[in-house]
Structures are given as C-alpha cells and as structure tokens.
Amino acid sequence: KKHKKTCVPLEELRKRLNVAETAPARDWRGMLALEGHMEQLLQGLSPASRCSLLNNFVLSHSVAMSATGSRDHALAAVRLQDRRIELLGMMERFRDQGEAMSNAAEHLLDAQKRQEAEGYFVRARAVGAAHGFFSVECTACLGLGRVAMLEGRHEECLELMRNALAASSLRENESDTMMELEVLRHLTDALFQTRQIDE
C-alpha cells in the first residue's frame, strides 16, 4: 500500500522520524508511513546519515515482510539497499557495502528471485576478496552455496560452503564463532541432502 505524499513541514517530518527511528523494527508502520517523504528527509544529510536513514527503512521493510508475507516489502528493501550500496562505495566503507549486497541478496531470495540474488552474492564476494574482509566473503560464499543447492548444483554448493568455512576461520572477529557454526550447519545439511554422509 502506497502512502500519499502531503505537504508536511520538514520539521514536523523529522519529529515523526525521530519517534519512529527509536525502534524501527517495532514501529515499522510509523517508518513506512514516512517513506513517501523520504527524499525530503534525505535532503541536507551527510552521506553517513543518509545511509543510516535508508538502513532504517530497509529494516522496517524487512519486519513488514515477516509480518505480512508480502514480497513487495522484500523488493522495496532491495531498492533501498541499492542506494546504500552506492553511498557506501563512495565513502569507501567496503565491508558495509559487501554486507549490504548480501542483505539485498537475502531479500531477493525471500522474493523467490534466485538469479538476481546470486548476482548480489557474487558482487559481495568480490568486494570481500578485493578488500580482505573474510566475514563478507564468508557470508557471500554461504549465500552462493545455498543458491547452488536450490538450483541442484550440488558439487558447486559444497565447494562454495567449504570456501565459506575456510573464510569463517579467517574473519576479522575470530572470537565470534556464530558465523562458523552457521556455515557448519548449512554444510552438514548439504552433505546429508547429497548423501555424502549418513545420518
């Protein structure tokens, strides 16, 4: 459902935004009610602040998608992430840029658009490899492996997930084992599904 644009003073819009941004996941309706005024709200903000605002709209669409099951919210999140990806590249925040690409890919998977999702994961992997961010490369390889499994490319899936596992042990925050455990879970599931290990 699109929200009609009305002539609202910028000061009033920013007051509403401040209320909604305190908890964009809880108040996703409040955030999305302001989306029709987004261009006005973005005016005069620094690139970093624009990224932050766009990210809150992405988060709101993510929660709305979970609440409503609408793929439209997933696709809206991707369009917003595209804008963040461009800004993050301009600011040379390459780790955040790679993470945004993988986030966009996840939303495309939610929208049943595997081919497009694969393209974003490929881009994220390239960013991670180019700038030495193993966490980005790990997430992207895991995503590519999941897409390959869905497409029936089993050998490619296992190779990508093994690459993800290798990258998970080299990522920047080695004390955080959650990513490594996540990769292992997906890799184990893939091995079961391809009957390369027995239950």
**Residues 131 and 153 sit within 8 Å (Cβ to Cβ):** no
Q: Give counts: helices (H), strands (E), the chain.
A: 10, 0
The pLDDT of residue 12: 85
The pLDDT of residue 155: 93
The pLDDT of residue 1: 47
CA distance 145 to 149: 6
- pLDDT tens string, the chain, 199 residues long: the values are 444 555 677 888 888 888 777 776 677 888 999 999 999 999 999 999 999 999 999 999 999 999 999 999 999 999 999 999 999 999 999 999 999 999 999 999 999 999 999 999 999 999 999 999 999 999 999 999 999 999 999 999 999 999 999 998 887 665 567 888 888 888 888 888 877 765 4
Alpha carbon 25 to chain centroid distance? 15
CA distance 141 to 156: 11
CA-closest candidate to residue 113, choices 74, 155, 69, 70: 74
What are the DSSP E strand ranges found in the chain? none
The pLDDT of residue 6: 58
Token pair recorded at residue 76: 């809206």
3-state helix/strand/coil string of 33-68: HCHHHHHHHHCCCCHHHHHHHHHHHHHHHHHHHHHH
Buried b (16+ CB within 10 A) or exposed e, 104-141: bbbbbbbbebbeebbbbbbbbbebbbeeebbbbbbbbb
**Residues 80 and 35 sit within 8 Å (Cβ to Cβ):** no
